[in-house]
């Protein structure tokens, strides 16, 4: 019995060892099966962008992240860097049906590595009835299954400037496309 268990354990170990190199590859951004070149323009758009706070939910009709490909290899993954031609724009926002102005939204980078990734430099300021609230954080990015043209952004934000909420959660689903509207997919 112990000999069978040992053989089984060795077989499972061999399967895992063979699978690890394939799983170690990071995601690449592709257009029509071809990896995007560094410098290519990519637009990510969300129609369900939301910031949940204890004082109410900020729901936005549209959030658009204009970016350039900063890295795109199977070894290190893909990175989008905020583009100088537009950056991050959020429009049509409300809190409990009351219009809210979102100013200075920013995402410095979005990184895809494996099935998860992250952001850097995520900030935004909301103006609710003259009260200016600042939020910042490092939301995570998930993109599963492979071959899709979208990713999910979600994570905690820290609020500053009392009496604004001290914390919030941001989330939204973003579709990826080139400047001419061609879908961009995430693949291993």
Q: Around Cβ 60, how many Cβ atoms within 10 Å?
A: 20
Q: How far apart are CA 53 and CA 56, in angstroms?
A: 5
Given its phi and psi angles, is residue 33 left (phi above 0), alpha (psi -120 to 50 degrees) or beta? left
Confidence of residue 186 (pLDDT cuts 50, 70, 90): confident
User: Average per-residue pLDDT in the chain?
Assistant: 81
Domain count for the chain, please give it. Answer: 1
- pLDDT confidence tier of residue 144, bands split at 50, 70 and 90: low
List pLDDT tens digits, range 26-35.
788 999 989 9
| Residue 56, Cβ density class (10 Å: 0-12 exposed, 13-18 middle, ≥19 buried) | middle
**Segments forming the whole domain that contains residue 96:** 2-187
Instruction: Give 53: exposed, middle or buried? Use CB within 10 Å, 0-12, 13-18, 19+.
Output: buried
Distance of CA 28 to the CA centre of its chain: 14
Q: What is the pLDDT of residues 34-69, one digit of tens each?
A: 999 999 999 999 999 999 988 889 999 999 999 999
Claim: this prediction has a pTM higher than 0.85: no
Tokens 């077989």 belong to residue: 11
């Amino acid at each position: 019995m112990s000999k069978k268990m040992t053989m089984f354990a060795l077989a499972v170990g061999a399967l895992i060892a063979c699978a690890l190199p394939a799983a170690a590859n990071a995601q690449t951004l592709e257009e029509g099966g071809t990896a995007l070149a560094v410098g290519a323009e990519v637009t990510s758009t969300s129609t369900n962008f939301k910031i949940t706070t204890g004082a109410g939910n900020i729901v936005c009709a549209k959030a658009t992240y204009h970016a350039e490909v900063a890295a795109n290899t199977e070894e290190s993954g893909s990175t989008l860097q905020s583009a100088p031609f537009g950056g991050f724009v959020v429009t049509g926002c409300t809190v409990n049906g009351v219009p809210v102005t979102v100013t200075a939204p920013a995402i410095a980078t979005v990184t895809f590595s494996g099935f998860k990734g992250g952001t850097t430099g995520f900030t935004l300021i909301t103006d609710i009835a003259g009260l200016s609230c600042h939020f910042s954080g490092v939301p995570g990015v998930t993109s599963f299954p492979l071959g899709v043209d979208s990713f999910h952004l979600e994570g905690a934000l820290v609020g500053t400037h009392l009496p604004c909420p001290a914390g919030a959660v941001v989330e939204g689903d973003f579709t990826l496309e080139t400047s001419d509207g061609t879908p961009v997919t995430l693949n291993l």
